[in-house]
Structure 1
Amino acid sequence: MKHPHLFIAGALLLSAGATASASVLPDCDRSDVISRVTRTISVAEQNVVQSGDPVKQIDHIRQSKLRDNGPRYVAQRFCRATGYTEQGRKKNIYYLIEAKAGFAGYGYAVEACITGRDPWKLHGAYCRSLR
Structure 2
Amino acid sequence: MERGLHRRWAGAGIAAVMAVVAAVVPVRAANILLDNFWLPNDSYSGDLPACTEPLALGTISMRFAETERMYWNAALNIKDFFNVREIAFRPWGEGFQPRRYCSATVTLSDQRRHPIYYSIIADSSFQGYTWGVEWCVEGLDKSLAYAPNCKMARP
Using the size of structure 1 for normalisation, the TM-score is: 0.74
Question: Please, which runs of 5 or more residues in structure 1 have no aligned partner?
Answer: 1-16
* CA distance 1:26–1:50, change in 2 (3 Å): same
Bigger strand share? 1
Bigger helix share? 1
How many residue pairs get matched? 112
Pick one of 79, 101, 104 that aligns with 1:78: 101
Pairwise mapping of residues 1-131 of structure 1 onto structure 2 (< 5 A)?
A: 17-18=43-44, 21-22=45-46, 24-67=47-90, 70=93, 73-131=96-154
- Larger-gyration structure (1/2): 2
* CA distance 1:100–1:68, change in 2 (3 Å): farther
Using the size of structure 2 for normalisation, the TM-score is: 0.63
**Is the partner of 2:62 in helix, strand or coil?**
helix
Q: Alignment RMSD, CA only?
A: 2.1
Percent identity reads: 26
**Is the partner of 2:57 in helix, strand or coil?**
helix
Q: Letter of the 2:151 partner, please give it.
A: R
* CA distance 1:55–1:103, change in 2 (3 Å): closer
* CA distance 1:87–1:66, change in 2 (3 Å): same
